Structure 1
Amino acid sequence: MPKRWSTKDVDILRPPSEHEPGLATFRFTDDYSVFHYSKMPDRIPDKGEALGRMAAYTLRRLEQAGVPTHMVAFDPPRTMTVKFLRILDPARGELHPGDRARLVPLQVIYRNRLPPGASVFRRLAAKKVTLDELGLTGLPTPGATLKTPIIEFTTKLEEIDRFITHAEAQALAALSDAQVAEVKRLAHVINGVVNEIAQSRGLTYADGKVEFGIDGDGRVILVDTAGTADENRFTLDGVHVTKQILRDFYLARGLEADVQRWAAEGRPRSTWPTPEPLPGDLLSLVADMYRSLCELWTGETIWGAPPLYDLASKLRAWQLPAPQSATRPS
């Protein structure tokens, strides 16, 4: 479900009740955000359509695999009708065990690979997380594929998301033992389906994130999107072909550290300086990347975009060298 700086336009058709989800439309826009800054100064042509089509394709595949989702219908090129849930903030005492038709206020991150410089290594070194908490028996080799994907949780409704333990996640989201077990099970199923699609397209799938909700029957369902260039990190011959390219551009300019500092200082968002815009050649290249990845992912020719392999060599020039380039999805 979107934060107030979401890159989706939301139109509520029917508000949710305590016992039943409502109905809304998501319109995928050409805006984007990195490092929780809010909307960035540029709009990427056709990005919204590319994400909407990729999301709809993936959600259909997930439904076929038995994953219940919030999607009701997709109206090309970029509008999705969804079950709309209540957003109850635990920090305000609004969320209680047994609540239904509501968002699970967590982001669930799954990792198939740990690239050099991944945040996991930094947090392990700082003793902010343990191997046992990650389900690991030893320190993985950077860049290696994990035998079993790692599942992690972050907060969702806070100003800046933060990693929390599985126990903290269950308590924060007011989930029963059965519900948190189902969240983890579905996360593994979703990860498996996305990985299957990625491999069939010649892509390497490092990690991704998903969000869940509780429907009117108390069932855990997938909300928001999965299997897109913004929620997942794919590479082609070692080159990032997702939003990571945009993260790298602004990471090199210190935006992540700036956002963390401004948030820690309690500085109002309205006073945050506007980041520099993307260079024109990078903006055009990223637009083609979104179009090309969408066509590869869905198997549909929509724009006749350049093949992703042809774009990879150009994208490589904008990719930060490891270890700096590995940040979690945001």
Structure 2
Amino acid sequence: MTSVKDFRVEEEPTATDLGRGRFVFSDRYSVFDWGEMPDHIPNKGASLCLMGAYNFELLDVNHVPTHYVGVVEDGEVKDLGECESPPTEMAIELTQVPDLPHEDGEYDYGAYHEVAGENYLIPLEIVFRNTVPVGSSLRKRGEPADYGLDTEEWPEEAVDLPEPVVEFSTKYEEQDRYLDRDEADDIAGVVDLDQLEELALAVNHILTDHAARAGFAHEDGKIECLYHDGTVKVADVVGTFDENRFSYDGQQVSKEVVRQYYKRVQPEWVDAVAAAKQEAIETGEPNWREQCEIEPKHLPDEIVDALSDLYCAGTNAYVDYDWFDAPSIEDAVAAARDLN
């Protein structure tokens, strides 16, 4: 189980063959890497499953290999268009995920790949960015000119990048950290890093183009990938309001709404999380959450309702079909904007 979806294995992968399994999407959510938060958001799981399936099928049409098999309704694996109601289960191919040893503050990727062989989940997140919002960590890692911007200092508002930027971060470490290309190349194993970058740019282009036609701005996102017998496939889930950052008419339609709410209403918890993470980096202690002395508070009911409407209305608009009984995207966005 992850913080937002459950994982079922139907056929174990082997050193040579992919297995089969399912994601079961829940209404749980996570922000700031906390794990499961105190509240559930109704229909969020169905929204993510539906949007993820839609995007996987969109990638398939564009000849991008993925681990997606279909969605599950009444125990049967189907294409999304065959479903009668929003699905909450997704059938996928499975690859090996070896243990990543951690000792004396160091992660042993050599041991990971020794077990992984030619069939493994690449232990990286490949991040792509089309915009740089205020507060983005990218601003701390480089100057505007490094990303093709004709300005000496970062503006005090979000900036559209002239070309998408691709970065690599760790996936299985207790805290995600961004990597230079040499370290990312080592962690990727036998997979060529340029191939991962090209794949991320292709996915970003497809999602950005579709989002624009649906009225959304696609600001940033990530992919995860598996490697099997010489082929790299997009894995996990792609292009949802949790994995990626979308906006509509200038309003975030993503988990960013919740992040900003907690920054405004419970900043002491947000600060405590940041402090615990920093202390963990300095001490080499992987379980930073155990060091955090403040717990997140419950969301008010009206916030939960507005978030549910935002997920459902956003999904309806993105896929151009009313799967959910939800307000229009314009009304849902207006309600979310009123939360600020």
TM-score interval, normalised by the smaller of the two chains: 0.7 to 0.9
Residue 158 (structure 2) aligns with: 143
Query: What letter is aligned with 1:285?
Result: A
Structure 1 residues 173 and 53 mapped into 2: Cα distance closer, same or farther (>3 Å)?
same
Q: Does 1:299 align with 2:309?
A: no
Q: What SS does structure 2 have at the residue aligned with 1:50?
A: helix
CA distance in 2, matches of 1:96, 1:202: 46
1:282 aligned residue = 303
Q: Residue 260 of structure 1: CA displacement?
A: 3.3
Within-5 A mapping of 1:201-220: 201-215=214-228, 217-220=229-232
How many residues in Structure 1 have an aligned counterpart in Structure 2?
308
Q: Which residue of 2 aligns with 1:223?
A: 235
How far off is 1:261 after superposition?
Answer: 2.6
Segments of 5+ residues of structure 2 without an aligned counterpart are 74-86, 102-106
2:45 is matched with 48
Q: Is 278-287 or 142-151 further displaced after alignment?
A: 142-151
Structure index of larger Rg = 2
Question: What amino acid maps onto 2:256 in structure 1?
Answer: Q
Corresponding residue for residue 6 of structure 2: 9
Question: Does structure 1 conserve the Cα–Cα contact (< 8 Å) formed by 2:226 and 2:235?
Answer: yes
Out of 18, 23, 41, the position equivalent to 1:21 is: 18
Q: Percent identity?
A: 31
* Preserved CA contact (<8 Å) 1:96 1:174: no
Cα pair 2:41 2:308 within 8 Å, conserved? yes
8 Å CA contact 2:214, 2:320 repeated in 1 = no
Match of 1:169 in 2: 184
Change in CA separation of 1:73 and 1:156 when aligned onto 2, cut-off 3 Å: same
Cα distance in 1 for residues equivalent to 2:131 and 2:276: 31
Report deviation, 1:235: 1.0
2:172 matched to which residue of 1?
157
TM-score (norm 2): 0.84
**Larger RCO of the pair (alpha carbons < 8 Å, separation 6+):** 1
Find the residue that maps to 2:189 and give its secondary structure: coil
Secondary structure of the structure 2 residue equivalent to 1:6: coil
8 Å CA contact 2:96, 2:116 repeated in 1: no
Matched to 2:208, the amino acid is N
1:318 and 2:334 matched: no
Q: Counterparts of 2:34 and 2:176 in 1: how far apart (Å)?
A: 12
Q: Following the alignment from structure 2 to structure 1, what is the Cα–Cα distance between the partners of residues 126 and 151?
A: 22
Which amino acid in the other structure matches residue 276 of structure 1? K
**1:230-269 matches, cutoff 5 A:** 230-252=242-264, 253-254=266-267, 255-263=269-277, 264-265=279-280, 266=285, 269=289
Shift of 1:137: 7.9
Counterparts of 1:37-76 in structure 2, within 5 Å, are 37-76=34-73
Deviation at 1:87, TM superposition (A): 1.3
* Residue 131 of structure 1: how far off its partner (Å): 5.6
Shift of 1:97: 10
Q: Tell me the distance in 1 between the aligned counterparts of 2:140 and 2:338.
A: 26
CA RMSD of aligned residues (A): 2.3
State the alpha-carbon separation in 1 of the partners of residues 115 and 8 from structure 2.
Answer: 28
Amino acid in structure 2 at the alignment position of 1:78: T
Write the deviation string for residues 246-269 of structure 1: whole angstroms up to 9, x where unpaired. 111223323443223334344564
Q: Is the 8 A contact 2:225 2:232 kept in 1?
A: yes
Question: What is the TM-score with the length of structure 1 in the denominator?
Answer: 0.86
**1: distance between equivalents of 2:177 and 2:166?**
14
Aligned pairs (5 A) from 1:65-214: 65-76=62-73, 77-88=87-98, 89=100, 91-92=107-108, 93-96=111-114, 99-124=117-142, 132=146, 142-176=157-191, 179-214=192-227
Contact 1:41 1:274 in 2 (8 A): no
